[in-house]
Amino acid sequence: MKAMIIEKFGKDVPLLMAEKPMPEIGEMDVLVEINAASLNPIDFKVKEGKAKFLLKYDMPLILGNDFSGIVIKVGSRVKGFISGDEVYGRPRKGRIGTLAEYIAVHQDDISLKPRNLSFEEAASIPLVGLTTYQAFHDILKLQKGQKILIHAGSGGVGTFAIQLAKLMGAYVATTASDKGYELVKSLGADQIINYRKENFEELLTGYDAVYDTLGGEVLKKSFQVLKPNGKIVSVSGLPNARFGKEAQLGWLKTTLLSIVSHKLTALEKKTRTSYHFLFMKPSGAQLKIIKGFIEEGHIKPVIDKVFRFEDAPQALKYLEGGGAKGKVVVKIK
């Protein structure tokens, strides 16, 4: 099969088309012929080696973290899927590789795809959908009437997050540029801060939650908008000791995380809030819930651009450039 691989970690390392053996499936796996895959910031972070602290991969490595496609073979103990099923999913972290013609994936990591979506649209959902659902439902426990700030509302994560927050009954503030204003407004954002002209930390106060996709100074300033006992969930900030304990990383790594995130811990204490780093877990069960939201018309995918399979390197550079409004998708088949 054809696949997009890297042969070593590095920012300037090329993404190469290569011939790879067909994946073998275990008794709980399904073999999927991939129709489309979407790209996410984790892809270029893995490529550059920035995720090595948490993720260990052998080379050569097939990149890609979510997909849609058709089941062509099932393992002997698979019960939920049959050949011909149209599915979407996010493989577990040790089994990534969706920029390929085929993938073997555990049955627990996929769901039937939403009936009302194309394969390209369905491929845009799993990673951002699961990440946001786990942030809002599992960590923030977002309630009707609560106020949440969602950073980078017109991005791949933000476009999904605004819609899910509104579905859950929250008041949503988001940051966007002039180019993203109409998009985030159409998705239901209640207050839009133009980050090029305005400082969100000066305009917002008394918020229950912040969903951070940017990290750095934006994350640090986000503590200022929270009320006491408010929560921040970040997918781009530094992992902290809380994450180390929850992920059972062991004493040494947890201690190291405590040291590197000490400024965030100080901000937690100063503002009487809590900071949570989120490393999303694959879940076919949660994808099934998201499928329902989509089929009922509550959430729609937002796609910026679709690239051909052979143009995946350009697609990754385009995403890394930071200007995409919605998701970047690679059409495999």
SS (H, E, C) the chain: CEEEEECCCCCCCCCEEEECCCCCCCCCEEEEEEEEEEECHHHHHHHHCCCCCCCCCCCCEECCCEEEEEEEEECCCCCCCCCCCEEEECCCHHHCCCCECEEEEEHHHEEECCCCCCHHHHHCCHHHHHHHHHHHHHHHCCCCCCEEEECCCCCHHHHHHHHHHHHCCCEEEEEECHHHHHHHHHCCCCEEEECCCCCHHHHCCCEEEEEECCCHHHHHHHHHHEEEEEEEEECCCCCCHHHHHHCCCCHHHHHHHHHHCHHHHHHHHHHCCEEEECCCCCCHHHHHHHHHHHHCCCCCCCEEEEEEHHHHHHHHHHHHCCCCCCEEEEECC
pLDDT given for residue 56 in this prediction:
86
Q: Is the pLDDT of residue 53 over 80?
A: no
**How much is the average pLDDT of 234-262?**
90
Q: Is the pLDDT of residue 237 over 80?
A: yes
**How much is the average pLDDT of 237-249?**
89
CA distance 99 to 73: 19
Predicted confidence (pLDDT) per residue in 194-232, tens digit: 999 999 999 999 999 999 999 999 999 999 999 999 999
Band of residue 52 on the pLDDT scale cut at 50, 70, 90:
confident
> What is the topology classification, in CATH, of domain 2-125+301-331?
Quinone Oxidoreductase; Chain A, domain 1 (3.90.180)
CA distance 278 to 16: 30
Predicted confidence (pLDDT) per residue in 305-333, tens digit: 999 999 999 999 999 998 899 999 999 99
> What is the topology classification, in CATH, of domain 128-277?
Rossmann fold (3.40.50)
Predicted confidence (pLDDT) per residue in 70-107, tens digit: 999 999 999 999 999 999 999 999 999 999 999 999 99
Predicted confidence (pLDDT) per residue in 157-176, tens digit: 999 999 999 999 999 999 99
**How much is the average pLDDT of 174-200?**
96
Same fold yes or no, 2-125+301-331 and 128-277: no
pLDDT given for residue 310 in this prediction:
98
Q: Tell me the percentage of the chain whose pLDDT exceeds 90.
A: 91
**How much is the average pLDDT of 268-296?**
97
Q: Domain residues of the chain, as ranges?
A: 2-125+301-331, 128-277
**How much is the average pLDDT of 114-142?**
98
Predicted confidence (pLDDT) per residue in 23-48, tens digit: 999 999 999 999 999 999 999 999 99
